[in-house]
Chain A
């Protein structure tokens, strides 16, 4: 990076907020994906004006720029694959307004998810999506990847809460989208265009989020299944019954086995465990939903259904689900969590396909998932120093995506596309949709300076 550019950046944000020290370049070279490429300089911006000046400059100078929050994303969204500048927004971290009357908060993109909910909790409110990285992930990143979590089947994902944004476009123009109202039928929904856009269209510098009152009553239950497909079928039937679970999670046999080998939880050695929670503001409401769910679980082959009567018991039931990721992460030196999502009726088919895939490629695919919304995280757990295993994983992954699309599903429920799934975009999106996305990219970012290389938006990737 030439010194004129470095000097411009220092003049814009202050010398202390610009670094090309080796350790900063390396630490900004990757995220929670396996992709890696070093930037030439890292800039921490703290105001919209700074972001605007920087985006004007990169647009004019044709310098690649990758926006970044906490870098917890798993698909390579924050990896500066074309080098250039990493614009780190994690220090732009002010909660600007909490308005219970309007039921909105206005935040800067670097606010950590958990910090917002820490402020909202005493007020009886929450921003519900609850991504598992919430203790460290930023809200800007949540919006840019349309993050979800365990309660999405009832409470939705990030996009369902974003009411308005302030966005800086390549070229430096600052745009406000949306409103702080609960509804709006005014003009194109530009806000949603930026939700999940992974920093390819503009840089989000302010977010207006809807917040929700936090339910005070919950019921938790766990059911075991001898056969995986029965668990899948139970899920489809629960959704068909009209019940509203706030949580409906699966932990399948490979996970259960790993948990039992590595913890003292002594889970029953079954093919699947379903964990479910219902909630409400009065006990009756949560209980009504739970009764309906349990009835369906029993009618669909549940071996055992265990209820939690106290918070401590609920915690014990949750421990199987909560220990899943740590346990999976320790199975091998490499863990890659997929994020496929299928229509609710196809959950049993997908679970069956995962079983077959593991057998075909001689891989263990420990799987957890938010089955209440059809979102599954089969994990490829493998030794990345073993080329044969890596090849098998690659083949299995490709087949997994094909199967998902065949079932009417999507490549990603909540993680995003980034680099990891970019080569498969055309599998899911038809040529007209791909061309439309590329045309939009070109309109917002004609010189392809913003997070280039992601989502297969460059025509040459065809």
Chain B
């Protein structure tokens, strides 16, 4: 069996390094939501150890766990042996896809991107009445979730940039396709070429996005080297906003959810807090925060493939918001804001926004949003 798994074999030493201590259970959002140890990182590693020792063949029954991980990396922060489970799973899934064992929903995602420029196979392109494919200082990259599921979060970021009189343009962007590498497939080169060409033609000095996953893809995935070669700065909106002050403040109790892709994966903890603390002096931290943040359950394709568990994970995160008694939950990821909003129960009266959405709300309250939209 091992010889059929060239990718996983490269990780052999790391897979057997997992000593099955189970400390990862303290951080695994799927385990915490389901109390099913097979879905925890240790459960996955025990299975992989059996596979590599030829005690277990690859079969469809293993999909349930090996393709069910939000890639939040909470396990990695807890692991005494330093085993990076998401990295291993990425290789394992590639091998599984190659031998024809794959979650149908994930195969579907790859096929969608063969035919469509976005992960939702949506036809209509949202331009938010802004200029597109123009020369500008900054390219704002919306991301699929922002463009097709959390449009208001994108529009709020644009409104805030308008208020700040930032020179930016949208582009006729296509899916970054980074998620495909997590689910056993590969980034689509045609999509990369299109995005790079569009960014290049704007002459922008910086690319700003509200999607931390797109940002990670641009910054770290090999196929996006040509984008990095353009030499422009790659920033998350939360980093971009730190250079500005806002003439608004709230007395409400505000808390912040660290998105895994922005926090653990990119190490961006301070930037969002810097802005939030300026506008919300009554800021409180959640019990699990920063590197110990608890995943919202949306990542790694889990929201699409395992919606029930995805919502359970979001609900357990929202319990922490209740625990600290916050009025407002802010976060800096379109997928997080989407999943957390969908999971909120009626009795939970707090509101959930991206920081830009909340800033816009405060600005609107004082009629400070500039009408600076392109014709």
Interface residues, chain A, with chain B CB atoms under 8 Å away: 21-24, 26-33, 36, 44, 70-72, 74, 88, 90-91, 114, 133, 135-136, 325-326, 329-330, 333-335, 384-385
Contacts and interface: CB of A to CB of B under 8 A. Distances in A.
Contacts of B26: 114, 135-136
Interface stretch (B37-45, B261-269, B275-283, B353-361): B37-45
A32 B20 contact: yes
A91 B37 CA distance: 11
B258 interface: no
B304 interface: no
Contacts of B65: 23, 27
Contacts of A33: 20
A121 to B, nearest CB: 12
Interface stretch (B55-63, B89-97, B134-142, B198-206): B55-63
A285 B285 CA distance: 34
A133 B42 contact: no
Nearest to B56: A26
Interface stretch (B11-19, B247-255, B307-315): B11-19
Nearest to B61: A22
Interface of B: 13, 16-17, 19-23, 25-26, 35-40, 42-43, 46-47, 50, 56, 59, 61-62, 64-65, 78, 80-82
B22 A133 contact: yes
Contact of A29 (B25, B46, B62): B46
16 contacts: A21-B61, A27-B40, A27-B47, A27-B65, A33-B20, A70-B25, A71-B22, A72-B21, A72-B22, A88-B37, A114-B26, A133-B22, A329-B19, A330-B81, A330-B82, A333-B16
B47 A133 contact: no
B46 A26 contact: yes
Consensus secondary structure, chain B interface? helix
Between B16, B22, B35, the greatest number of chain A beta carbons within 10 A of the residue's beta carbon is seen for B22
Contacts of B13: 333
Contacts of A22: 59, 61-62
Nearest to B36: A24
A24 to B, nearest CB: 5
Contact of A27 (B42, B80, B81): B42
Contacts of B81: 326, 329-330, 335
A21 B46 contact: no
A337 to B, nearest CB: 9
A23 B43 contact: yes
B64 A23 contact: yes
A28 B37 contact: yes
A224 to B, nearest CB: 25
Given A326-B81, A330-B82, A135 B23 contact: yes
A163 to B, nearest CB: 28
Nearest to B35: A91
Contact of B25 (A30, A88, A136): A136
Contacts of A30: 20, 46
Given A30-B46, A32-B21, A133-B22, A23 B62 contact: yes
Contacts of B56: 26
A133 B22 CA distance: 8
A296 to B, nearest CB: 32
A136 B38 contact: no
Contacts of A21: 38, 61, 64
Contact of A71 (B37, B59, B62): B37
Which 5 pairs between the two chains have the least Cβ-Cβ distance?
A: A27-B43, A27-B38, A329-B81, A23-B38, A135-B26
Given A133-B22, A330-B82, A335-B19, A24 B46 contact: no
Contact of B21 (A91, A114, A133): A133
Contacts of A333: 13, 16-17
Contacts of A36: 50
A325 B81 CA distance: 8
